[in-house]
């Protein structure tokens, strides 16, 4: 999330604050309904509004990537949650996630965004874990979070 004074971001996973010059990753999740293992086309899914958006620091993003690699298994029918490895089949709802890399230089008033560097499928349960964690971070910002300048 953005800091109150809009001079940086707070990681929605670990609550570390970044200011001045930094890189972070923006994860947008869109709710998708699947009926009998038939999901909408990707071009249609990308038009759906984001159900949630998270700002993630490089260290937490690296952890998410490692988790995706650790749970990867090819799927013949259905879908698999990239965070938990849980198989999703039949009729269900899940969240389609896209990650953009954002490079910010506040003093220079410069921001570069690299769209869709990672795409992932997230079960409703893992989505709720992310939402709950971001809520905890938001409630505690300013109380105990670390702050990193110029990172």
Domain count within the chain: 1
Q: Would you say residue 3 lies in a domain?
A: no
Q: Would you say residue 148 lies in a domain?
A: no
Q: Would you say residue 28 lies in a domain?
A: yes
**E-state strands within the chain:** 8-10, 17-19, 21-34, 52-56, 79-80, 87-88, 92-105, 110-123, 147-149
Q: For residue 12, what are the domain limits?
A: 8-140
> Which stretches of the chain drop beneath a pLDDT of 50?
144-151
What is the chain's mean pLDDT, rounded?
Answer: 88
Q: Would you say residue 15 lies in a domain?
A: yes
pLDDT in tens, 96-129: 999 999 999 878 888 889 888 899 999 999 999 9
**Cβ atoms within 10 Å of 72's Cβ, excluding its own:** 11
Q: Would you say residue 145 lies in a domain?
A: no
Q: Would you say residue 100 lies in a domain?
A: yes
Q: Would you say residue 39 lies in a domain?
A: yes
pLDDT at position 142, please? 55
């Amino acid at each position: 999330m953005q800091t109150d004074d809009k001079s940086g971001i707070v990681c929605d996973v670990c609550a570390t604050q970044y200011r001045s010059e930094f890189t972070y990753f923006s994860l947008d999740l869109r709710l998708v309904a699947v009926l009998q293992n038939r999901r909408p086309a990707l071009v249609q899914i990308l038009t759906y509004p984001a159900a949630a958006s998270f700002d993630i620091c490089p260290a937490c993003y690296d952890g998410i990537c490692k988790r995706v690699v650790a749970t990867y298994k090819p799927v013949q029918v259905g879908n698999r949650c990239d965070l938990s490895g849980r198989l999703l089949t039949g009729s269900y709802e899940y969240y389609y996630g896209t990650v953009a890399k954002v490079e910010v230089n506040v003093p220079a008033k410069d921001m570069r965004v690299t769209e869709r560097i990672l795409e992932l499928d997230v079960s409703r349960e893992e989505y709720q874990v992310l939402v709950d964690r971001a809520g905890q971070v938001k409630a505690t910002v300013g109380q105990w979070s670390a702050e990193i300048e110029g990172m």
